[in-house]
Chain A
Amino acid sequence: MFVNSNFKKKKTKLSENGTSQQQSMNMKEKGLYGSSMIRIETKNLYVKYGTTIGVNNVSVPIYNGNVTALVGPSGCGKTTFLRALNRMHDLSRDAVVTGKVLLDDLNIYDPKVNPVSIRRKIGMVFQKPTPFPTMSIFDNVVAGLKLVGIKDKKFLNEVCEKALIQAALFDEVKDRLNNPGGSLSGGQQQRLSIARALAIEPEVLLMDEPTSSLDPKSTLKIEDLMVELKKNYSIVIVTHNLAQAGRISDYSIFMYLGDMIEFGKTKDMFQNPKDKRTEEYLTGKFG
């Protein structure tokens, strides 16, 4: 309880800071595309597996047009938190989510809200590539459109090409779009999964260590993509790679043992961490 109340205070302070700094940065520093608008906000979010607590009372804003990185040691609840943002825990009988996740003021855990419609707005890319095994590359990319009844071939072609270009895969596969998705290499499959997530044009993109199975070159392409994508999307990314978080994210959330320890602008947090645990993690003393 003590820890929690501490966080609340810290959180409100930080988000105020974050907002004002964000605005000034927009105008002066890097010319970031983001705005101060909050896209997603969690309020007292808990995720419990039986008696184990995966995410412990996290309240944090996700800003529009920015990349927010979730960092922390293994098992700290980053992925659990991320999956709570598009109701991915619904499938699991053990996981219980309480608290609110507000997407533009709509609580996505409201009983009246259909998770399917939420997931079209909040897309997700997983740690491991997940091409649909029986589908061609083309069908994989447009699966999210074709399987909900969109049949306009010309439109699907355009979407497919655009998504593949965005995911930096088009040049490699443009001559074999009818080959099975499983025929691609691991890194290509991951970019295919990203293209598939982009094809439905979500507003928020959740990425769970999207580059952990990629070689450095593909990783770089995906990082470039994220910087490019944040013009139109809000991105939340889980990463173990602190250098990556430093390179691409505007905001960072540091989690430890299910608690959110610190939230703030990546630059500030990485240079002047406010909490001792954040500092120790960032300097490699644990994790």
Chain B
Amino acid sequence: MIKPKKTLKQRNIKDRFMVSLLVLSTVVVLVPLLIIIAYVIINGVSALNWEFFTEELGSPSRAMQGRPTGLIHTMIGTAVVDFLALIISIPVGLGAGIMLSEYPDHKLNPYLRIINDTLNGMPAILKGLLAFALIVKPMGTFSGLSGGFALAFVMIPIIARSTESALMSIPWTIREAGLAIGLPRWRVVMSTIVPAAKTGLVTGFLIAFARAAGEAAPLMFTSFGNNYFPRHWTGMIFGPVDTLPQRLYSLAISPYKEWHAMGWAAGIVLLFFVIAIFFTARLLTRKKVY
């Protein structure tokens, strides 16, 4: 037997040292997260009551005079804007992801990759500005729709990338098998590769969704915010509408103590909403075929 230079004891000590470094980094990651969650809950839980989930916000006087006030219109607005973002971004992101993964020989592919990565790294507030210029200006009003587009710009590059990696995880041989029985390329992709990558794809949508759901900046000058329910439900799409991250910001910078507490409570709702989405994504990932 060839003996290593160091004794077993020495090597054991080194091994334990390396593992403790790993533990340390894990703690560094986890502690701030737990502190944030605890801090948000401690500060916000006092404002969480029945009215919080049933009433609209109204004017600041409501909260100051102790009249019923809540953020139900914000939660519904968030759902509407996020849903709009989802239906805009999924087809586009999916298409771009398929292009990235399945047509590496296409001449647009390298450009798409650069543009997509740039879009992904672009500050979210600029995406809000883009939606403002494209939709708010021509329409002449802030709207849920423009908010949906702004968030879609956040989601599209993420979906494109996650779609690409989900499709790439399917063995190349499956594509060749499809082509070998005389199927056109798009048919192979749609009927064999995409169904096989389904869970990976949905996980990617959810991660992009969770990421966009927490964005406040793109919504500042698109969906804008609204203290009340619109008079008609279409106002949610074509008029200014409240969303949780942007409402959290507005409440936090307001001069009213009562609203600060509501801001923390909005933080709790948003936090658990996002955690729930990530958790679902985790569950789905476990069931992957590949």
Q: Please tell me if the beta carbons of B183 and A147 are within 8 angstroms of each other in the complex.
A: yes
- Tell me the A114-146 residues at the B interface (CB within 8 Å): 115-117, 119-121, 123-126, 128, 130, 132-135, 143-144
With contacts A128-B173, A132-B192, A148-B187 taken as known, whether A88 is within 8 angstroms of B179 at the C-beta atoms is: yes
Residues of B within 8 A of A126 (CB): 173, 176-177, 180
Give the residue name and chain of the A residue nearest to B109 (CB): A93
The residue of chain A having its C-beta at the shortest distance from the C-beta of B188 within the complex is A147
Contact A147 B180 (CB under 8 A): no
Question: In the docked arrangement, what's the CA distance between A130 and B180, Å?
Answer: 11
A131 to chain B, nearest CB (A): 8
Check A193 for interface membership: any CB of B closer than 8 A: yes
B105 contacts chain A at the CB level, 8 A cutoff: yes
Q: Which residues of the other chain, B, contact A135 by a CB distance below 8 angstroms?
A: 192
Residues of B within 8 A of A133 (CB): 170, 174, 192, 195-196, 289-290
Q: Check B191 against A130 for contact (C-beta < 8 Å).
A: no
Kindly state whether residue B255 has any CB partner on chain A within 8 Å. no
CB-defined contacts of B178 to chain A, threshold 8 Å: 132, 143
User: Taking CB as reference atom, which chain A residue is nearest B170?
Assistant: A133
Q: Are A196 and B179 in contact (CB under 8 A)?
A: no
A93 to B180, Cβ gap below 8 A? Answer: no
Give the shortest distance, in Å, between A39 (CB) and chain B (any CB).
17
Least CB distance from A116 to B in Å reads: 5
Q: Which of B175, B177, B192, B290 is close to A193, meaning CB atoms less than 8 Å apart?
A: B177
- Given A93-B104, A93-B105, A147-B191, A130–B174 Cβ distance below 8 Å? yes
> By DSSP majority rule, is chain B's interface helix, strand, loop, or mixed?
helix
Does chain B have a CB within 8 A of A200? yes
Alpha-carbon distance A144/B104, docked complex (angstroms): 24
A103 beta carbon closer than 8 Å to chain B:
no
With a CB–CB cut-off of 8 A, which chain A residues contact B105?
91, 93
What band does the interface of chain B fall in when counting residues whose beta carbon is under 8 Å from A? 20 to 34
A197 at the B interface (CB under 8 A): yes
Q: Does B182 contact A (CB under 8 A)?
A: yes
| Minimum C-beta distance from B9 to chain A (A) | 47
Whether the Cβ atoms of B173 and A200 lie closer than 8 Å is no
Judged by a CB distance under 8 angstroms, whether A86 is at the interface is yes
Chain A interface residue count, Cβ-Cβ cutoff 8 angstroms: 31
Q: With A126-B176, A132-B192, A133-B290 as known contacts, state yes or no: A120 contacts B182, CB within 8 Å.
A: yes
Contacts of A115 in B (CB 8 A): 179
Bound form: Cα–Cα A9–B202 in Å: 59
Are the C-beta atoms of A88 and B191 separated by less than 8 Å? no
Q: Are B181 and A119 in contact (CB under 8 A)?
A: yes
Q: How far is the CA of A91 from the CA of B177 in the complex (A)?
A: 12
The proximity string for B residues 152-192 relative to A, scoring 1 for CB distances below 8 Å and 0 otherwise, is 00000000000000000011011111111111100100011
A144 contacts across to B, CB distance below 8 A: 181-183
Shortest distance between the CB of B79 and any CB in chain A (Å) = 31
Once the chains bind, are B173 and A134 in contact (CB under 8 Å)? no
Give 1 or 0 for each of A45-57: 1 = CB within 8 Å of chain B CB: 0000000000000
What is the minimal beta-carbon distance from B168 to any residue of chain A, in angstroms?
14
Residues of B within 8 A of A119 (CB): 179-182
Known: A126-B177, A133-B195, A134-B289; 6 extra A-B contacts, CB below 8 A, are A116-B183, A116-B184, A120-B181, A132-B196, A196-B177, A202-B182
18 contacts between A and B (CB under 8 A): A88-B176, A88-B179, A88-B180, A91-B105, A91-B175, A119-B181, A125-B180, A130-B173, A132-B174, A133-B196, A134-B192, A134-B195, A134-B196, A143-B181, A143-B191, A144-B182, A148-B187, A197-B180
Chain A: residues with CB nearer than 8 A to chain B?
Answer: 86, 88, 91, 93, 115-117, 119-121, 123-126, 128, 130, 132-135, 143-144, 147-148, 182, 193, 196-197, 199-200, 202
